[in-house]
Structure 1
Amino acid sequence: MWASWLLWPLMAVCAADSFRDQAERIMRDKPVIDGHNDLPWQLLSLFNNRLQDPKANLTTLANTHTNIPKLRAGFVGGQFWSAYTPCDTQNKDAVRRTLEQMDVIHRMCQAYPETFLCVTNSTGIRQAFQEGKVASLIGVEGGHSIDSSLGVLRAFYHLGMRYLTLTHSCNTPWADNWLVDKGDDKAQSHGLSPFGKRVVKEMNRLGVIIDLAHVSVATMKTALQLSKAPVIFSHSSAYSLCANRRNVPDDVLLLVKQTESLVMVNFYNDYVSCQKEAKLLQVADHLDYIKKVAGAGAVGFGGDFDGVSRLPEGLEDVSKYPDLIAELLRRNWTEAEVRGALADNLLRVFEAVEEASNHMQTPEEEPIPLDKLGSSCRTQYGYSEASSFHCPWRALLASLTALIFSLCLL
């Protein structure tokens, strides 16, 4: 009797090892494609994008969630790197800052060709898998990065952008962000403005994946209903398990199922448990829940590594992916469902976006109305034959100067 009790811990350990071994076996053939990683932001913050700084060596990079050995240990075979610039760049230097972040992603591929392969399509991802490299794609995080310009959107596409997050944590002049639902921001577009709808249509035409992480529920629903191709949530979780407005509510999950779209689960504690602490098991709960409501084809991974300050116990960095896959297997996910979450679901969405694209179609070209743009200093070429500057503060300064001068003459 005592001998049988002593065997139980040993049997549990063996079972755990079995699931881990199975996870690694699957991932050797089907590595994970992660929807969102902010390593480029860390390279800017820590090194001002100077990749030749010895401390920026991605093989030995310390104090980040991501480096090359960790990517290898985590069986990461595809990564959407985030070209992110904060909301305080809106109406300022957002385009320049975004270009710099896109540039550093390209330079990562050039500096480490044995590890990274910059790709722009689903075929490229499969090629990287075959070569044992990390397929590296660019996701631009925040619609403010295009500065309300369809021309900039197209230019970003030509430079490699393959998803655009419609907002970050601020409204753009054409789309509302998640803080509207929280009550911190006021709705301006009530989802998407007429120009915002043109942005979505142009993304469909180009073959850019529409990313609805960070947007308001109204924006989610409008985009899901308007898009001719499936969309993604590159790093969001399930609202019913954690009532944070960054997460996806059930009625939207049903639209995700209907449109064959994808929710790539975020690992940030605040979106997993709605508390400062979280565990790997709770991330698996979100994956289970989305699978239950939207189907196994709607599930993916968007860890948000190097973009968040708190991560669950057991998911401290990108090397921990096999432990999460082992937990899904322990929960009776089939191998096909696991392979879908790892890569096949994202590849299906990407291929559908590519199929829906039509570069022969006439581009959207109606610009956003000038009065919808921010009040910062802008040229207004093309809008009218009026003064080429739109700077209210300059006009105010001129009026005040004239008033002071006239008073001095009295």
Structure 2
Amino acid sequence: MTDPTESESRRRAARLLHEHPVFDGHNDLPWALREAVGYDTDRADIATDQSPVLHTDLDRLRSGGVGAQFWSVYVRTDLTGDAAVSATLEQIDCVRGLTERYSDRLIPAYSAADVERCLESGGLASLMGAEGGHSINCSMGTLRALYELGVRYMTLTHNDNVPWADSATDEPAAGGLTRFGEAVVREMNRLGMLVDLSHTSAGTMRDALRVSRAPVIFSHSSARAVCDHPRNVPDDVLRALPDNGGVAMATFVPKFVLPEAAEWDRAVDAHLTGLGLHPLDGTEQGHRARTEFERDQPRPVATVSNVADHLDHMRELAGIDHIGLGGDFDGTPFTTAGLDDVAGYPNLLAELLDRNWSEAELGKLTWHNPLRALREAENVAERLRRTESPSLATVTQLDGQPPG
């Protein structure tokens, strides 16, 4: 039955998502489950629970028109060395557990062809992306092992530098990529693992674009010209994407969308740090501390319109073939109004329709662009594997420093 209060644009968006669903670049549900329930999905059953804490469950994914999802197998950067590798393996195990428990809805996918088969069958294609080069502990063998376990992109850094690449939110150390960092990018190309440049410094972005022989992605980053946050993509990098074939996937995190929210978020991070909590603390204690802070200092609220402003700018500079969506749901304590959880994508598409985006353009944004980038990365890998052997490079060999 049609809702008489629903706008025509919202109805058009829902119809479009049936044909061209969202292929989202980044969702942190595995880490949220780790923090909230220790991976115990009996306590947080995403088939039946609509948790006020989680942004993601199966029904809301369906309502939002999500057809493919990169699940982040992120681990915090205060986990280092072998501890980071072990925690990443636990995250991978979580995603595998979800696809086994909900096998009628979440279908493992390892290639563009797998994603297309999932669309035909009505399942949600479930891929994995590792968020931060600390997950490989400076080891090419570990990088290859993650690929064999199903990881199809790696974000080169998270919030802190790794020995071979600079982060957007740390003090520059390498000036971008080191020689070993360049070797990591080339090995990812050879494997068919997408190079993800979200969280990286502008120098790392530019170096990776110079070195990569396959399309790169930004799994969850918006436009720096619209919100001047180092996590967003500078204009010159957006303009360079067409030559690379890459895709910048706009995120919905308020502090990356709205300048006032960025200022407020710095204050709440300082508040949590003063309480001895990590700024990304996802436990009940962390949620309570943020709620108390927000009660005294109301949070600036980002809107769907603000996100659309980023997409307008990104389309203008990079072109319609090089943008996508990466919500970062369950990876942020605060959400954008109208994009409160994974059911919100139709609201964004309705806003873009009202801005005269065509349905063909929206189909590229939601589905075709990330699928094309994944397929092209696979094609590049197929060619490279014929002529290149697995890299045996080490940090010490190339950069003259021990890993760590």
Q: Report the Cα distance in structure 2 between the residues aligned to 1:317 and 1:221, rounded to whole angstroms.
A: 32
Q: Secondary structure at the match of 1:372?
A: coil
Matched to 1:229, the amino acid is A
Do the aligned partners of 2:134 and 2:162 also contact (CA within 8 Å) in 1?
yes
What amino acid sits opposite 1:329 in the alignment? L
Query: CA shift at 1:31, angstroms?
Result: 0.7
SS in 2 for 1:128: helix
Which residue number in structure 1 is paired with residue 40 of structure 2? 50
Given candidates 207, 212, 227, the residue that maps to 2:212 is 227
TM-score by length of 1: 0.84
Larger radius of gyration: 1
- Mapped partners of 1:363, 1:372: distance in 2: 22
Aligned residue among 333, 336, 340 for 1:312? 336
* 2:20 aligned to which of 9, 30, 37: 30
- Please state if 1:215 is matched with 2:242: no
CA shift, 1:50, in A, is: 2.1
CA contact (8 A) 1:47 1:56 kept: no
Structure 2: any 5+ residue segments left out of the alignment? 262-300
Which amino acid is 2:385 matched to?
A: H
Higher RCO (CA 8 Å, separation ≥ 6 residues): 2
For the residues of structure 1 that align with 2:69 and 2:367, how far apart are their CA atoms?
Answer: 11
Match of 2:134 among 141, 144, 151: 144
Q: In the TM superposition, what is the alpha-carbon distance from 1:56 to its structure 2 partner?
A: 3.6
* Residue in structure 2 matched with residue 366 of structure 1 by the alignment: 393
Alignment of 1:230-241 (within 5 A): 230-241=215-226
Give the SS at the match of 1:179. coil
Query: What does residue 164 of structure 1 align with?
Result: 154
TM-score by length of 2: 0.86
Match of 1:348 among 351, 355, 372: 372
Show CA shifts across 1:45-88 (max 9, x none): 0111122x243444314121101111010010000000010001
SS at match of 2:78: helix
Match of 1:390 in 2: none
Give distance in 2, aligned partners of 1:29 and 1:145: 36
Find the aligned partners of 1:209 and 1:266 in 2 and give their Cα distance.
18
Q: What RMSD over aligned residues (CA atoms) do the two structures have, in Å?
A: 1.6
**Letter matched to residue 393 of structure 2:** E
- Cross-structure match for 1:261: 246
Q: Tell me which residue corresponds to 1:90.
A: 80
Counterparts of 1:327 and 1:176 in 2: how far apart (Å)? 36
**What's the secondary structure of 1:87's corresponding residue?**
coil
CA distance in structure 2 between the partners assigned to 1:76 and 1:366 by the alignment? 39
Partner of 2:278: none
Aligned residues: 357
**What does residue 20 of structure 1 align with?**
10
1:40 to 30, 49, 53: 30
Distance 1:87 1:373 in 2: 18
Q: What is aligned with 1:81?
A: 71
Write the deviation string for residues 327-381 of structure 1: whole angstroms up to 9, x where unpaired.
1111111111000001100111111101100333211112220762356xxxxxx
Give the percent of matched residue pairs that are identical in Structure 1 and Structure 2.
41
Number of the residue aligned with 1:404: none
Alpha-carbon distance, 1:103 to partner = 0.8
Equivalent of 1:298, from 319, 322, 325?
Answer: 322
Aligned to 2:284: none
Counterparts of 2:46 and 2:112, CA distance in 1: 28
Aligned partners of 2:90, 2:155: CA distance in 1, in Å? Answer: 17
Indicate which of 127, 133, 140 corresponds to 2:117. 127
| Structure 1 residue 188 displacement after superposition | 2.0
Structure 2 CA distance for aligned equivalents of residues 61 and 134 of structure 1:
18
Extract structure 1 runs of 4+ deviating beyond 4 A: 13-16
Counterpart for residue 145 of structure 2: 155
